[in-house]
Amino acid sequence: MEAIRLDAQWIDYLLIAIYFIFVLGIGWFAKRGISSSIEFLLSGRSLPAWVTALAFVSANLGAVEIMGMSATGAQYGMPTMHYFWIGAVPAMLFLGVVMMPFYYGSKVRSVPEFMRKRFGTGAHLVNALSFAVAQLLIAGVNLFLLGTIVNRLLGWPLWITLIVAAAIVLSYITLGGLSAAIYNEVLQFFVIVAALLPLTLIGLNRVGGWDGLVDRVSNDGMLGAEQLSSWPGEQLSGFSNPVLSVVGIVFGLGFVLSFGYWTTNFVEVQRAMASKSINAARLTPIIGAFPKMLIPFIVVVPGMIAAVLVPQMTQFKEISASIDEATALEQTGVTYNDALLLLMREVLPNGLLGVAIAGLLAAFMAGMAANISAFNTVFSYDLWQQYVVKDREDDYYLKIGRWATIGACVVAIFTALIAGNFSNLMDYLQTLFGFFNAPLFATFILGMFWKRMSATAGWVGLVGGTLSAVFVFILAETGVLDLPGQGAAFLAASTAFVVDIVLSVIVTLFTTPKPAAELRGLVYSETPKSDFEDLSEPKAPFWKRPVPVAGVALVLVIILNVTFG
């Protein structure tokens, strides 16, 4: 890959520098509130819903998401919207309406801790360890991507970028804990919008407005008008039959993959747990759903614009269509992943360019910070306090949390270096950890609503479900199953879900359930309604109550699907 040097001037560097002063400043100011481990690791459960909602969205709006989704937009066009409208919003609403009362109401401090209370230490250890290791890995991958981008854009050596970025993340998290991470995610959200919204509008202006874009995309001589409607999205799903494609997207992406990711991933759920009341916790993913459904307009659309406006990108797409992507990369020196950067270079004036670079750097670091702030909580509470050193005073665990943060940043630098040398290995490992999600969702949802489900069923279902996903994945990799695109991932996740449910039911029938007295707050039928309610809720107007707001979001996302379908 060749360098894409952006012509950054002093004004751009000035804007970037100001942004980083604010990033560190947030860590410094957030430090004042920290005197206990709960304040460091869970923000003292004190944040308002709009803050945690934006952090919820931002924690996922990392580099992989921004670059990846604009790349998919450049390649396939509007079907990419499914990753937001089908693959995120419904699951976020479900998390807020159905699952959050259990997480917040049971007063657990992490998702693995919920697992321990419901199913005991077997399932807990599997969950906590795999989560902790996965976070270190993903933090490293985020860091590596940051290093490569900075290297290609500004020409800094990789190792300097790795150390500087890790040091910045480390300093604001060790100072301000989760609050600093969350506040920075909120700040990052606005910087990203300030960068991507003008980028989209200027790009549209260059191609002659929305009509101009529609015109150019439908006459691109490749996928053409297929790229302008999100359904049935055969290119994206990899199923050539339109009916199968719709079923694959709705069930595979929309149900199993996205519910597994959004409802059990502690990186996301932690943001909601940091909020000040059960009402705010439930509103976190629900309010977050609104920006989430609009973000693709400033992420996917620029990708589509790049594909028709930037000559290098158009050329890459044409060669990919006529020969293949490897040849196209060889001849043009770019890939789909460069779509957003190429558009930035093409249309942004100095000044706005600085805002855009700051926004991207922020997104990369926020991704890593989110992983690390979730890691240090699980490490301190679920691994260290549970299995290594129990029953110490709280100060001790606050100290452990800080040391875990330092350790995680150092490990992330090394993971990033490994990622640079063995990129395929990293891809496989990430896919592997993705397999934990689908069975986790199955186990949680069954455990929350079926009081009889036993502890043994908890871990047997998890392990069996994960192994079945790996099995399907191997079949697809070795060519026994022929599913291009996302088809294999959809099928692996669906299989894991079904196997988990079936195994859990069978094992439960032959094992003893937990006594009902231990299930309060963990299982729906054993929990008094008052545990799930906020005293302020009945008085709150409808736009501050989770269920009606979720209803509005659902209607909006359906309208979007119909309008752009």
Partner 1 sequence: MSKSNELTKTAGAFDVRNFIGALLAIFGVILTIAGIVGFTPDEAERTGGVDANLWTGIGLIIAAAVFLIWAKLRPIRIVETPDDAAGAPGTD
Binding site for partner 1 (CB under 8 A): 11, 14-15, 18-19, 22, 25-26, 29-30, 32-33, 36-39, 44-46, 48, 51, 107, 117, 183, 186-187, 190-191, 194, 198, 202, 205-206, 276, 346-352, 355, 381, 385, 390-391, 394, 397
The neighbouring-strand residues paired with 47 are 275
Residue closer to partner 1 (CB basis): 169 or 204? 204
Question: Residue 519 in 3-state DSSP?
Answer: helix
Residue closer to partner 1 (CB basis): 54 or 149? 54
Report CA-CA distances (Å) from 413 to 66, 299, 375.
Answer: 22, 28, 15
User: What is the nearest approach in angstroms of partner 1 to the Cβ of residue 383?
Assistant: 14
User: What is the nearest approach in angstroms of partner 1 to the Cβ of residue 526?
Assistant: 15
Question: In whole angstroms, what is the distance from residue 45 CA to residue 272 CA?
Answer: 9
Residue closer to partner 1 (CB basis): 23 or 170? 23
Residue closer to partner 1 (CB basis): 189 or 239? 189
Question: Residue 47 in 3-state DSSP?
Answer: strand
Question: Residue 275 in 3-state DSSP?
Answer: strand
In this structure, how many other beta carbons lie within 10 angstroms of the beta carbon of residue 420?
16
Q: What is the DSSP letter of 521?
A: T
Question: In whole angstroms, what is the distance from residue 55 CA to residue 49 CA?
Answer: 10
Are 143 and 365 a contacting pair, CB within 8 Å?
Answer: no
Question: In whole angstroms, what is the distance from residue 442 CA to residue 452 CA?
Answer: 15
Neighbouring residues of 264: CB distance < 8 A, sequence distance ≥ 6: 111, 437, 440, 441, 444
Token duo for residue 322: 């006529």
Are 492 and 469 a contacting pair, CB within 8 Å?
Answer: yes
Residue closer to partner 1 (CB basis): 76 or 381? 381
Neighbouring residues of 302: CB distance < 8 A, sequence distance ≥ 6: 70, 73, 196, 199, 200, 203, 339, 340, 343
User: What is the nearest approach in angstroms of partner 1 to the Cβ of residue 108?
Assistant: 9
Residue closer to partner 1 (CB basis): 135 or 385? 385
Give me the amino acid identity at 533. E
Neighbouring residues of 92: CB distance < 8 A, sequence distance ≥ 6: 56, 262, 285, 286, 288, 289, 292
User: What is the nearest approach in angstroms of partner 1 to the Cβ of residue 211?
Assistant: 15
Smallest CA-to-CA distance from 299 within 432, 193, 189, 451 is with: 193
User: What is the nearest approach in angstroms of partner 1 to the Cβ of residue 104?
Assistant: 11
Residue closer to partner 1 (CB basis): 25 or 485? 25
User: What is the nearest approach in angstroms of partner 1 to the Cβ of residue 83?
Assistant: 27
Q: What is the DSSP letter of 385?
A: I
User: What is the nearest approach in angstroms of partner 1 to the Cβ of residue 115?
Assistant: 13
Residue closer to partner 1 (CB basis): 105 or 232? 105
User: What is the nearest approach in angstroms of partner 1 to the Cβ of residue 110?
Assistant: 13
